Structure 1
Amino acid sequence: MDGIDVSQWAMSAAQALITAMTTDLWAGARDRFAGLLARRPESAGEVAEELDDARQQLLDAGVTEEAAEETSAEWVSRFRRALTRDPSLVEEIRTLLEEQNVEAPAASGRFTQNFSATGGGIVFNQGTGTQANQVHSK
């Protein structure tokens, strides 16, 4: 998938979904997202209802950052499963992201970070993706 992992695409898709939920263009966006997430075309209506329910819960909560994060978490998982099942969905997600003016994830290359501590200090580092950590003590 162009060096971009499924989780990055899922997070970007969920961000676009949450953005769409808070606009007047929701009906058209809902149908596009439902079609993307439905396992079978005949289940798109059911997914659209779930999306409408999620949108209503978000609106009822006042579209706070906390409510948006909570709503997003559920849909990140759904997008991740859909992409794992069918990686070709990336192109459709890319189109949806463009339509919603959400930036597509960038391909991540390999990079190296070197940290050192002195005087008995400890270095902590957190990142995403596959990490290989080496500890050298003197």
Structure 2
Amino acid sequence: MAGLDATQWATPAVQALIGAMTSDLWASARDRFARVLARRPDAAGEVSEDLEESQQQLVDAGATDEAREEISSEWLGRFRRALTRDPSLLDELRSLIEDYGEKQASPGVVTQNVSATGGGTVFNQGTGVQNNQVDQK
């Protein structure tokens, strides 16, 4: 694989796979992962069944760290072999990682509007930068 370590890409692919197994996106993710790993249309069904079996094992085990490690180990080998055999899978793998991998939490903006009646005062507490405005009516 011309200077590219298959594990470098197989590891985040497996992390994305395991994450998808415990999400509402599992059905579509399973089909996409199966197509990439099978590389032959006639083999996609078999790979899909293997993926489904792994997903069921993970769910049955309560998605424990031990179950995640065991299933990750199995699929890491399969991803590495697939990439070693066919480096052109890299683009498809990147797409799967992007679509199903862990998203970095981006700080958002939270706006709270509060009001008090009858001469009351309202205090809000949050984290980060806070801009407070008091309107006397």
Aligned counterpart, 2:130: none
Matched residue of 1:24: which SS?
A: coil
Shift of 1:4: 4.2
Two-structure CA RMSD over aligned residues (Å): 1.7
Distance in 2 (CA, whole Å) between partners of 1:62 and 1:56 is: 10
Percent of paired sites with the same residue: 63
What do residues 107-135 of structure 1 show as CA deviations (whole Å, max 9, x unaligned)? xxxxxxxxxxxxxxxxxxxxxxxxxxxxx
Shift of 1:83: 0.1
- Residues 102, 94 of structure 1: alpha-carbon distance in 2 compared, 3 angstrom cutoff: farther
Q: Which moved more, 1:39-48 or 1:75-84?
A: 39-48
| Ranges in structure 1 where 5+ consecutive residues have no aligned partner | 104-138
Matches within 5 A, 1:39-54: 39-54=39-54
Matched residue of 1:95: which SS?
A: helix
What do residues 89-110 of structure 1 show as CA deviations (whole Å, max 9, x unaligned)? 011010111101347xxxxxxx
Distance in 1 (CA, whole Å) between partners of 2:83 and 2:63 is: 27
Q: Which has the larger radius of gyration?
A: 2
Distance in 2 (CA, whole Å) between partners of 1:3 and 1:102 is: 26
- Residues 2, 24 of structure 1: alpha-carbon distance in 2 compared, 3 angstrom cutoff: farther
Distance in 2 (CA, whole Å) between partners of 1:9 and 1:2 is: 14
Distance in 2 (CA, whole Å) between partners of 1:78 and 1:84 is: 10
Aligned counterpart, 1:12: 12
Aligned counterpart, 2:63: 63
| Ranges in structure 2 where 5+ consecutive residues have no aligned partner | 104-137
Count of aligned residue pairs for this structure pair = 103
What do residues 21-68 of structure 1 show as CA deviations (whole Å, max 9, x unaligned)? 000110000000000110411110111011000000010011011110
Q: Tell me which stretches of 4 or more aligned residues in structure 1 moved more than 6 Å.
A: none
